[in-house]
Amino acid sequence: MNPKILIVDDEPNVRLMYRSALEGCCYEIYEADSGAKALNQCKEQLPDVAILDLRMPGGLSGLELLDEMKKVNIPTPVVFITAYADVPNAVYAMKLGAIDFLQKPILPDQLRAVVKDILIRHESGKSKDEPQDFEYFLRCTKRAINLRDFAAAKQYIIKALEIEPDSTHALNLAGVIFEMCEEFDQARRYYGQAIKRNKNFEPAQANMRRIFELFNFGISDEPFNLNNK
């Protein structure tokens, strides 16, 4: 059976663009122009991946749609595609189980790659024969976040870091997981370690700035430097 992909956007041209990017990949593609219609589609079709616009005028926004999906136990992982670089919304979306974000405008190859990665991630969760390497634990981490199992995500990301302790991506993801668990000191530690390894890694910089602003530590436009603590 071919994977089912749901595309949700209020603009017909955008939906057509995403459909065109994914056609030829052996997917069953469905569309919805509103959050309410998308929720009904999810109940009827249970798609393998949902591609959501973050903000849609009227009705349910992408975040509200994801919230409703979780309330009725729809486990479909989502990709958020948005023109808004909104870090607080991204963190809230991750608390709801989202882990994949693409910023408009996107290239067809980007969309195909992230959809393929999600399908592999969730299919791999059913296999017991995979080599338990760094990529395996990273996939398990992301899958656990999709399923909102943050305790398991924490254990998987720590195992990933035991294999590749200098991975900025994994360190930043660890910070996000600890932040979602409200372990803010640990979150700051991991964001800081990511920045220490690459001071220009903007996801960790943005997360650190948000943490500092949240606790009124004060923030600077300059890249965060552990030596300035």
Confidence of residue 125 (pLDDT cuts 50, 70, 90): low
Structural fold of domain 4-123: Rossmann fold (3.40.50)
Confidence of residue 220 (pLDDT cuts 50, 70, 90): very low
| Average pLDDT score over residue span 33-50 | 94
DSSP for 109-152 reads: HHHHHHHHHHHHHHHHTT-S-S--SHHHHHHHHHHHHHTT-HHH
| Average pLDDT score over residue span 215-229 | 46
| Average pLDDT score over residue span 172-177 | 94
Instruction: With CA atoms as reference, report the closest residue to 164 among 186, 197, 188.
Output: 197
210 has a pLDDT exceeding 90: no
| Domain range summary for the chain, segments of one domain joined by + | 4-123, 129-228
Instruction: Say what the pLDDT of residue 223 is.
Output: 43
Instruction: Say what the pLDDT of residue 105 is.
Output: 84
129-228 domain in CATH 1.25.40.10?
Answer: yes
